[in-house]
Each structure stands twice: as C-alpha cells, then as structure tokens.
Amino acid sequence: MNEEFVPGVLVRHPDREDWGLGQVQSSIDNRITVNFEHQGKELINGNVISLILVEEDHG
C-alpha cells in the first residue's frame, strides 16, 4: 500500500506544515519512519496519515 514511501523519498505531513520537509528513513508495512527537518524522527501510521510526496526540483 505504501510502496512509494521508500528510503530517501521526500514527504510532507498533511497536518503539520511546521515540521517542514521530511525524508523517509524506512517503511515497514504501514509504519513509515520519517526524519522531518524541524521535528526530527517520527513514526507515521500510513493507515491514519496520508503523507504528501514531494517531487525533487532538479532545475
């Protein structure tokens, strides 16, 4: 279900804009560990929270 949340992918939390950009550290089943720039590491339940994928800007 959360195959797109592989390590290294950049995400944002839909309800916590103040956490800033996050990088997925690991994803096991629906447990996604994300290191957010202003919050640190958080364990996200993918069944409850729909993380927003961020496209990297290479321009």
Cα–Cα distance, 27 to 58 (Å, whole number): 25
Tokens at 48, concatenated: 């409850």
Neighbours of 22 (CB within 10 A): 27
Question: 32 burial class (0-12, 13-18, 19+ CB within 10 angstroms)?
Answer: buried
Cα–Cα distance, 28 to 46 (Å, whole number): 10
pLDDT digits (tens, 9 = 90+) for 19-38: 999 999 999 999 999 999 99
Cα–Cα distance, 17 to 22 (Å, whole number): 10
- Does the pLDDT value for residue 57 go beyond 80? no
| Percentage of the residues of the chain whose pLDDT score is greater than 90 | 83
pLDDT at position 1, please? 47
- Does the pLDDT value for residue 49 go beyond 90? yes
| pTM of the complete model | 0.88
